[in-house]
Amino acid sequence: MLKTILAISGKPGLYKLISQGKNMLIVESVSADKKRLPVYAADKVISLGDIAMYTDADEVPLSVVLEAVKTKEGGNQASLDYKKASAEELGEFMAAVLPNYDRDRVHLSDIKKLIQWYNLLVSNGITEFAESAE
């Protein structure tokens, strides 16, 4: 599921891949407005399925981390307000979700983005983060 959800550098929010053209992608906003727009080769686009978070031992795929957040929050939006949370609160949240996360390489901005993306996905009905076995 996360393979078709995209983060586009310079554009807020997340986007769902709709179609591919010769030199562009057609994407649709995950948020309520469902606005469609073209994304060209010059734009930096990354699939959420390709993102991982650093731990002390290895890297953990974002789908696993999002599932851990879902388990912690009971499938609801995150109880922590990432905009107002202190560095300690963000660190505690991340430690509860991924206890062995690398405290040197996972920055506060990464934790905020994780919470922001999780809330955006859950509020728009996307709650299946793990890849289904095909």
Query: What CATH number is associated with residue 69?
Result: 1.10.10.1650
Within this chain, do residues 111 and 75 fall inside the same structural domain, yes or no? yes
Query: What CATH number is associated with residue 41?
Result: 2.30.30.730
Are the C-beta atoms of residues 45 and 9 closer than 8 Å to each other? yes
Kindly give the confidence (pLDDT) of every residue in the chain, 134 residues in length, as a single tens digit, with 9 standing for 90 and above: 788 899 998 888 899 999 998 889 999 998 878 899 999 988 999 999 999 999 998 999 998 999 999 988 888 888 889 899 999 999 999 999 999 999 999 999 999 999 999 999 888 888 787 765 44
DSSP secondary structure code for residue 26 in this structure: E
Within this chain, do residues 116 and 60 fall inside the same structural domain, yes or no? yes
In a domain? residue 8 = yes
Within this chain, do residues 40 and 7 fall inside the same structural domain, yes or no? yes
Q: Which range marks the domain in which residue 97 is found?
A: 51-123
In a domain? residue 84 = yes
Are the C-beta atoms of residues 82 and 111 closer than 8 Å to each other? yes
pLDDT value of position 38:
92
In a domain? residue 133 = no
- Give the span between the Cα atoms of 70 and 15, in whole angstroms: 20
Q: How many domains does the chain have?
A: 2
Select from 116, 100, 120, 10 the least CA-distant residue to 53.
100
Within this chain, do residues 44 and 57 fall inside the same structural domain, yes or no? no
